[in-house]
Amino acid sequence: MLTRRQFIQTGIAGAALLGAARLAYGPLRPDPQYEVPAESRFRVLDGASRTAFAAIGRVMLAGALPRDEAEFETALHEVVLGCDTVVAGLPGAVRDELEELLALLNQPLGRRWIAGVTRSWSEASDEDIAHFLSRWRYSSLSLLRSGYQALHQIVFAAWYGNPRAWVGIAYAGPPAYMKEFWNA
């Protein structure tokens, strides 16, 4: 049976251990966010989620995005804006699950232990992100594979639904009879 004194000592030792672990983790500072132009209007994605989609999209679409730096930044912004549009169009239950996934990936411990990305999304290398995506894509856990598929489908829908991408794949756009529904 624990005495009150032992209980208090154990609590103090546990708090000291947690404090030391937090200090070993690194300084407390917010993760840098993905910079968006002032005129951009996002409906669903917060700053951390936009940063995650920018980093993931940069790696998933390597080779498909323009090589020129200014055009690359514009295209990447359009991908992130497209991800917001895709997520906003999802049914409520699916959007809630995706928000839980993004919340997990945006927390430092979740990003580190579940995704294996030790630095913030804006500071992570392309190799670290590609390794995370590959691990999730070929994971034996169906939950991680589903998470990868969700991220993959959102990023690719955002890019290939963008007229800027159509030039690279020789797509002339939707048929003429669909144009009236295109911007509905």
Average pLDDT over residues 36-64: 88
Residue 65 sits in which domain range?
47-182
Tell whether 2 is covered by a domain.
no
Tell whether 164 is covered by a domain.
yes
- Distances from the Cα of 129 to the Cα of 53, 140, 145, angstroms: 11, 19, 15
Residue 83 has pLDDT above 90, yes or no: yes
Confidence of residue 97 (pLDDT cuts 50, 70, 90): very high
Question: CA–CA separation, 183 vs 122, rounded Å?
Answer: 32
**pLDDT confidence of residue 37:** 66
**pLDDT confidence of residue 58:** 95
Tell whether 90 is covered by a domain.
yes
Residue 165 has pLDDT above 90, yes or no: no
Residue in the block written with tokens 């509905």: 184
**pLDDT confidence of residue 163:** 87
Q: Work out whether the CA dihedral 97, 124, 45, 181 comes out positive or negative.
A: negative
**pLDDT confidence of residue 26:** 64
Q: What total of structural domains would you count in the chain? A: 1
**pLDDT confidence of residue 99:** 94
pTM: predicted TM-score of the whole model, two decimal places? 0.78
* 42, 84 contact by CB (below 8 A): yes
Tell whether 103 is covered by a domain.
yes
Tell whether 86 is covered by a domain.
yes
Confidence of residue 166 (pLDDT cuts 50, 70, 90): confident
**pLDDT confidence of residue 27:** 61
**pLDDT confidence of residue 62:** 93
**pLDDT confidence of residue 42:** 85
Tell whether 11 is covered by a domain.
no
Tell whether 57 is covered by a domain.
yes
Tell whether 14 is covered by a domain.
no
Q: With helix as H, strand as E and coil as C, how does 77-136 read?
A: HHHHHHHHHHHHCCCHHHHHHHHHHHHHHHCHHHHHHHHCCCCCCCCCCHHHHHHHHHHH
Q: What is the pLDDT of residues 123-152, one digit of tens each?
A: 999 999 999 999 999 999 999 999 999 999
Residue in the block written with tokens 């390794």: 131
